[in-house]
Structure 1
Amino acid sequence: MDLPVVPVVHVAALSAAAGVVSHLTYFIRGEHMLTAYILVIITILSPPTAVAVLTMLAGLPFSYAARLTVISYGAYVTTLFTSILVYRAFFHPLRHFPGPKLARLSQFYHFFRIRAKVDNYRHLDRLHAQYGEYVRVGPNLLSISDPSMIEIIFHPQSQFNKAEWYDIANPLLNLVQLRDRAEHDRRRRHGWDLAFTTKALRSYDSRVLKYADQFVTQMQRRVGQAVNVTDWLEWYAFDVMGDLAFGRSFKALEHGKSHIYIDTMHQTSALPLGCLGTMPWVIQTMTALIPQRLNPFMTLVRYSNECIEERKQRKPAEPDIMTPILAAGPFYEDPKADALLLLGDARLIIIAGSDTSATTLIHSFYELARDANVVQKIRDELEQHGIRNDDSLSVTGIQHLEYLNAFINETLRMHPTNPGGLFRLTPPGGVELGGHYLPGGVKIVNPHYSVHRSPKAFVAPNEFIPERWTTRSELIRNKKAFTPFSQGRFACIGRNLALNELRVVISKAVLEFDISFAPGETGRALLEDSKDIFTMSLARLELRFTKRLQR
């Protein structure tokens, strides 16, 4: 029996129409990050499935079935992407904003621009220097360096919400990744708030001091030598947070070498979070499709899980951050979901608490080595308050020192821990920003590096001047633009703990040593070769510590 021949032109026309319709009814609406891997699977399997159905069920010859499939699939994909590109170029709500031509068509443009150096924040800063304070850096991504917008976007009553980036590790969630405001607030009350009360912080002081002393001891053994402080200060931060998260240190300072957890974290973050951070759907898809045994990220997950299970079985001699979180009991009724949240929170305590503190500490020591006058001012203030590198130095005794805090503020301003900024979505009803109307669902980012160096926020923004936070307040034009720990309901809960760590290590170091660049060191590598992986993966900084001559 002769089979009816379907006109190829009709197949192509119907497929082309389907491509446009699927764009306008599905792809143009909402987020698809968590289902992206399904779309990838469908994209790969649809052609062979169509050929099989046409040959085995419809009885068409293989060559004819393959021809129809190629034509149909080709027409669908061509019109789908044509519709997407035309919309992005000429009809998208961000079409009026300046920016690179190719950036408006595909987020892959951003990836190709930063893939070599993993310098997302510097790329954004260059774009702002070229195009202004509002730059379209992706099809649906607007970068804003206008300091006056920070409070509007991050105010506690702001209707801006977290963007889909925060689903990047789903279903492995943590406190920071909870996008629903009510759920996030409930989780903070479920143990987290108690972990960072003033009383709780005092119970952590001994460990902050203990590891600071270990750092000083290791530097004493290396007096006069070139020391890569990037490693040592990172090990300090991780040792503290390992102790406070799991009740046990990574012992990196004690052994003078890194830990597999620290190494794996950096190895698994550079490409995903550094290069693909503006395309979280790619990371989600890779995570969903790559077998767990081949995914290096699972090394962190397995180690964290082992530590959590071990921590559950014992009560530490001193309370740690997990003490009130575990005491609060299950957060979700589903045991699997609750276990994943606890696992995610443990990783958050270590990684977020360590990377941010280490970044600021390392840049602090860069600034100390660069200017001996700053070191002397910190020393003078400490000694004026009777503080020396002995039992007279306590966490509470140095927390209100004016110049020390100003120095830390200026370090945080010049070298933010999250230089590329945070992703937010405009409210469903739309919003007016800087004279521009944006409808709901537009993704925005505020690069902290560019905002903190805006002349609209700070006089002489590229100069390191701690006095702007003390005696020269006229150098600050918009203090609300300074948000090193974010602000509002999603602000960093560990802010005070991080500041305690910074004050203690800096104080002990300047009281004990003179600090300078090692021979041949300029700090250029630290400033230019460090990688933006949402937080920072810092390059080497070689310093020389010499025993301080007492006056």
Structure 2
Amino acid sequence: MAAPIGLVASVSATAGVVSHLSYFIHGEHMLTAYKLVILALFGPPTAVALLTTVAGFSLSHATKLTSVSYGAYMTALFTSILIYRAFFHPLRHFSGPKLARLSQFYHFFHVRAKVDNYRHLDRLHEKYGEYVRVGPNLLSISDPDLIEVIFHPQSNFTKADCWFPFSPLCCRLLSWYDISNPLLNLVQLRDRSEHDRRRRHGWDLAFTTKALRSYDSRVIKYADQFVAQMQRRAGENVNITNWLEWYAFDVMVCSLESFIPLLAPEALSDLAFGRSFKALENGKSHIYIDTMHKTSVLPLGCLGTLPWVIQTIADLVPTRLNPFMTLVRYSDECIEERKQRTPTEPDIMTPILAAGPFYEDPKADALLLVGDARLIIIAGSDTSASTLIHCFYELGRDADVVRKIRDELQQHGIRNDETLSIPQLQYLGYLNAFINETLRMHPTNPGGLFRLTPQGGVKIGGHYLPGGVKVVNPHYSVLRSPKAFVSPNEFIPERWTTRPELILNKKAFCPFSQGRYACIGRNLALNELRAVISKSVLEFDINFAPGETGRALLEESRDIFTMSLAKLELRFTRRSK
């Protein structure tokens, strides 16, 4: 007997609303998103097949019945979602683009062309104020007073919790930190106790003062290689973006000793001799760097606020066709190879491997090591390179800044020879002020970090928000806030030394984050910056190449969580001794 079409439609529509209110509105569904996609695609034809073979319906009636049921269910489901997001969501009182409150795809369509996430957020803050609803369950906050509240060591804000059973927030509360699941690393460990335990499990020992001193010779070695390459190219136009990326990458490879034989069979044979990829020495990029940037533009640059899309693609695309998995496979190889040998000098992985397994499950532990390998490379090379390139942008733009750094070095008797050491550079006031101002004006993660409001809720901007609301602090906008800095769009290193009145809220400045999730490699990164900058200004006058304005670097670089930087051409002129 044929089922009444009207009854089927009513029941299906009711099921759509109920499934939203009882399931989709709660918790995170990123890790099961691919199953929902498969169900949505193959559920209807499966239903038609069952109705014809089991229930004995005709093909036309089964198709009609399924179409009505599926259409009613989906219509009711998404209508319920949209009505809730528009009129009942806890963020409904915050201003922002009307379409952004309905779908996170609004963000995607506005950043997909230029991959300029942080600039898009900054434009929205200029239009709507310090608190902007930029997604169904995403609030962007540029108020510098909230930085300490959200990132303080005792803050109850979290990277993400897996379940908020009493917080009906949205169709999908998704976590950026699960974006590469099941591959995780230190940064992606969301449970506080687990994160803290992992830091104690070798990571902290890799960045003690003693450990950093053991890396100094390698930092200096590659700084010397960089200077030597610039000496050979003195008077020529140099794409400094490439050279500083190679420097930062080579330092991390060397700091990891022979930990990363990633993408070429010949690198595996080099491993036996403990050599790096020599990108800086050869003046040639390595395929790992290129692959890393290419595989990050779409997922992290355009879809960073839609992690469930990335996870679904990763789950459905065959491994052999997924370029990201290429990096994973080679990271796995390098871990196994590194375990078999002891480097001549301790590297970052020495205390991590010495600490033994972190998880009882060997597979989970192996995945964590591979994830940590990628973290060390990306966090250690991409972020340092980004800051270095912007430092050299500021050096090329203003010869007076170069002179001030050089004068300070010379006043302390520091020369570009074998006597120069990292400890000599650590407490130079103007040099550190210059680096701080570069980090303020050009943050390495300009789009900010995601956090979730605590389970008990919190009051923000005069509004109470229940647990599970996602917030982001775009560092670019926060660090240029007139509430935190006088003349915020002007590059003034002296604000960190002789003109402290230009800083209104010093707590807003946290380029390495703060609290328990602060960057563990902060001091190593600063050592790299100090070494290259000092050696370069002692050896050269640095200027923009003819025709270079820096516009491409500032306007065409892409925000892929860290920065994928456009070309910057400089000219290095050797100084007479």
Both structures adopt the same fold (TM-score exceeding 0.5): yes
**Take 2:369 and 2:556, find their aligned partners in 1: how far apart are those partners?**
34
What is the letter of the counterpart of residue 32 of structure 1? H
**Which structure 2 residues correspond to residues 275-314 of structure 1 after superposition, within 5 A?**
275-314=302-341
**Take 1:349 and 1:177, find their aligned partners in 2: how far apart are those partners?**
13
Is 2:58 aligned against 1:47? no
1:165-205 C-alpha deviation (Å, 9 max, x unpaired): 10100110000000000000000000000000000000000
**Match in the other structure for 2:170:** none
**Which structure 2 residues correspond to residues 219-368 of structure 1 after superposition, within 5 A?**
219-247=230-258, 248-368=275-395
Q: Secondary structure at the match of 1:227?
A: strand
- Of residues 385, 394, 397, the one that matches 2:412 is 385
**Match in the other structure for 1:69:** 66
What is the letter of the counterpart of residue 9 of structure 2? A
**Match in the other structure for 1:187:** 198
Report if the CA contact (8 A) 1:430-1:437 is conserved.
yes
**Take 1:146 and 1:406, find their aligned partners in 2: how far apart are those partners?**
23
**Which structure 2 residues correspond to residues 79-98 of structure 1 after superposition, within 5 A?**
79-98=76-95
What is the letter of the counterpart of residue 84 of structure 2? Y
Report if the CA contact (8 A) 1:216-1:509 is conserved.
yes
**Take 1:191 and 1:85, find their aligned partners in 2: how far apart are those partners?**
47
Q: Secondary structure at the match of 1:96?
A: coil
Is 2:104 aligned against 1:107? yes
What is the letter of the counterpart of residue 34 of structure 1? L
**Take 1:460 and 1:392, find their aligned partners in 2: how far apart are those partners?**
39
1:55-97 C-alpha deviation (Å, 9 max, x unpaired): 1111111110010000000000001000000000000000010
1:388-434 C-alpha deviation (Å, 9 max, x unpaired): 10122100111100000000000000000000000000001100123
Report if the CA contact (8 A) 1:246-1:307 is conserved.
no
Q: CA deviation at 1:246?
A: 4.5
**Match in the other structure for 2:177:** 166
**Match in the other structure for 2:210:** 199
**Match in the other structure for 2:188:** 177
Report if the CA contact (8 A) 2:250-2:278 is conserved.
yes
Is 2:163 aligned against 1:136? no
What is the letter of the counterpart of residue 452 of structure 1? L
Q: Secondary structure at the match of 1:400?
A: coil
Is 2:483 aligned against 1:467? no
Q: CA deviation at 1:299?
A: 1.6
Is 2:526 aligned against 1:499? yes
Report if the CA contact (8 A) 1:453-1:462 is conserved.
yes
Runs of 5+ unmatched residues, structure 1:
none
**Match in the other structure for 2:571:** 544
**Take 1:58 and 1:483, find their aligned partners in 2: how far apart are those partners?**
64
**Take 1:136 and 1:447, find their aligned partners in 2: how far apart are those partners?**
13
Q: Secondary structure at the match of 2:145?
A: helix
More moved, 391-400 vs 401-410:
391-400
**Take 1:458 and 1:229, find their aligned partners in 2: how far apart are those partners?**
30
**Take 2:353 and 2:64, find their aligned partners in 1: how far apart are those partners?**
61
Q: CA deviation at 1:242?
A: 1.2
Is 2:3 aligned against 1:6? yes
More moved, 305-314 vs 131-140:
305-314
Q: Secondary structure at the match of 2:352?
A: helix
**Match in the other structure for 1:17:** 14
Q: CA deviation at 1:6?
A: 1.3
Q: CA deviation at 1:245?
A: 2.4
Q: CA deviation at 1:250?
A: 2.4
Report if the CA contact (8 A) 1:238-1:250 is conserved.
no
**Take 2:490 and 2:83, find their aligned partners in 1: how far apart are those partners?**
44
1:436-481 C-alpha deviation (Å, 9 max, x unpaired): 2111100000000000000000000000000000000000000000
Report if the CA contact (8 A) 1:93-1:439 is conserved.
yes
What is the letter of the counterpart of residue 155 of structure 2? S
Report if the CA contact (8 A) 2:225-2:280 is conserved.
yes
What is the letter of the counterpart of residue 242 of structure 1? V
**Take 2:346 and 2:49, find their aligned partners in 1: how far apart are those partners?**
63
- Of residues 379, 388, 396, the one that matches 2:423 is 396
Is 2:86 aligned against 1:59? no
Report if the CA contact (8 A) 2:257-2:343 is conserved.
no
Q: CA deviation at 1:543?
A: 0.4
**Match in the other structure for 1:216:** 227
**Take 2:38 and 2:560, find their aligned partners in 1: how far apart are those partners?**
28
Q: CA deviation at 1:548?
A: 1.3
**Match in the other structure for 2:149:** 152
Is 2:551 aligned against 1:524? yes
Runs of 4+ in 1 over 3 A off after TM superposition: none
Q: Secondary structure at the match of 2:413?
A: coil
Identity %: 81
Report if the CA contact (8 A) 2:2-2:57 is conserved.
no
Is 2:538 aligned against 1:511? yes
What is the letter of the counterpart of residue 52 of structure 1? A
Report if the CA contact (8 A) 1:245-1:346 is conserved.
no
**Take 2:178 and 2:276, find their aligned partners in 1: how far apart are those partners?**
29
Is 2:535 aligned against 1:487? no
Q: Secondary structure at the match of 1:103?
A: coil
Q: Secondary structure at the match of 2:559?
A: strand
What is the letter of the counterpart of residue 48 of structure 2? V
**Take 1:151 and 1:434, find their aligned partners in 2: how far apart are those partners?**
14
What is the letter of the counterpart of residue 10 of structure 1? L
